[in-house]
Amino acid sequence: MRTRATSASVAVLGAGHVGAAIAHTLVLQGIAERVILHDRQRVRAEGEAWDIDDTTPLLHEGTVLPTDDYRDLADSDVVVVTVGANIKAGQSRLEVLGQNADLIRSVMGELDNVSREAVVVIATNPVDILTRIAIACSSRPEHQILGSGTVVDTARLRYRLAATLGVDAEDTLVHILGEHGESQFVAWSSAAIGSIPLASFPLPSGMSLAQIQADCETATRRRGADIHTRKGYTSYGIAAAVCRISTSILRNEGRIFTVSARALPEYGIGTEVALGLPCTIGRKGVARRLLLKSTVGLRSRRWCWRRPTAHCHSKRAVILAVP
């Protein structure tokens, strides 16, 4: 017998690889009873929506509505933004910033007109900067705007670490913080397996903790690029991450995710910076921004946002230029 999806409405902007994967996952998991798939090319939205809609008789009661009209998003509880230029082979996320920033400003203007109560989840890259731009240009409360941050990076790390240690990934408690990109880092000092600190957990024979940490960090940092090289894009991992965030919003779960949100002043990197840091996520979006107690590892990395390196300087310059 088919199950009834959660009585909620989630809109997805952009019917490309990521948008379609998110819409499909929303239906597959029964997260929302009504999914709206918006694309400026209506026929593209129709093709993806109709294909997904054909699965509903076998899965859940629900509907997938294709549209190119923002007014159809009026009753949405959550709006996921995936529109933007695709990152080509060899490009960095920052290289598509200019084009995608203009799109985000335009999209937020439309959403403020038709769906002011919805929580907006940004999934377009570079996600941290675009989340900050969305916050700056929108008239809705800041807590109703967040980015996918390092949620998928954290999932990748947990999977790798769990496989190495021979435990369930759900018992692997560790987070990746900072940028969804090359400067991300792992909060190893707070890592635990179940209730046991990672530093005290028995390791596989012949492996040191330092070796395991280095291998996991390298593999996690390269994972997105490795997938992109082979298939031209990533979609399923980010779709699962966004849908998990959306579930926490719709069900008011208060789960902790490292979403893109403005940093607390206590981090000492400036409140104009948005990056992946732990937040509790509920019905109104970001319920609380949590302060991660400084460790040696965090202190040594958090100042990269102020160092005059080419990467960090360019990113900070863009953030400071946000109107």
pLDDT of residue 150: 95
pLDDT of residue 92: 62
From 113-117, 133-137, 268-272, the region with the lowest mean pLDDT: 268-272
Mean pLDDT over each residue of the chain, to the nearest integer: 87
**Residue 295: pLDDT above 70?**
no
Which residues are marked as active site? Answer: 180
Rounded Cα gap, residues 110 and 79, in angstroms:
12
Q: What order do you get walking across the sheet with 119-122 strand by strand?
A: 63-67, 34-38, 9-13, 78-81, 119-122, 145-147, 255-262, 274-282, 285-289
From 85-89, 171-175, 222-226, 312-316, the region with the lowest mean pLDDT: 312-316
**Residue 6: pLDDT above 50?**
yes
pLDDT of residue 5: 52
Rounded Cα gap, residues 39 and 186, in angstroms:
36
pLDDT of residue 284: 96
- The phi, psi pair for 101, rounded to 5°, reads -65, -40
pLDDT of residue 19: 98
What are the tens digits of pLDDT across the range 160-195? 999 999 999 999 999 999 888 777 889 999 999 999
pLDDT of residue 113: 97
The three-class DSSP label of residue 250 is: helix
Mean pLDDT, residues 127-151: 96
What are the tens digits of pLDDT across the range 203-251? 999 999 999 999 999 999 999 989 989 999 999 999 999 999 999 999 9
Confidence grade of residue 64 (pLDDT, cut at 50, 70, 90): very high
From 23-37, 240-254, 280-294, the region with the lowest mean pLDDT: 280-294
Per-residue buried b or exposed e for 184-206, using 16+ beta carbons within 10 Å of the residue's own CB: bbbbbbbbebeeeebeeeeeeee
**Residue 3: pLDDT above 80?**
no
Higher pLDDT, 153 or 94: 153
Question: Tell me, what amino acid is at 308?
Answer: P
pLDDT of residue 312: 41
What are the tens digits of pLDDT across the range 111-128? 999 999 999 999 999 999
pLDDT of residue 46: 98
pLDDT of residue 133: 95
Label the pairing between strands 63-67 and 34-38.
Answer: parallel
Mean pLDDT, residues 267-275: 83
Please report, for residues 12, 61, 147, 158, 233, the alpha-carbon distance to residue 34 in angstroms, rounded to integers and kept in the order given: 11, 9, 22, 31, 27
Peptide bond into 126 cis (omega under 30): yes
pLDDT of residue 320: 42
Give the domains, in start order, of the chain with CATH numbers.
3-147 (3.40.50.720), 151-320 (3.90.110.10)
pLDDT of residue 178: 87
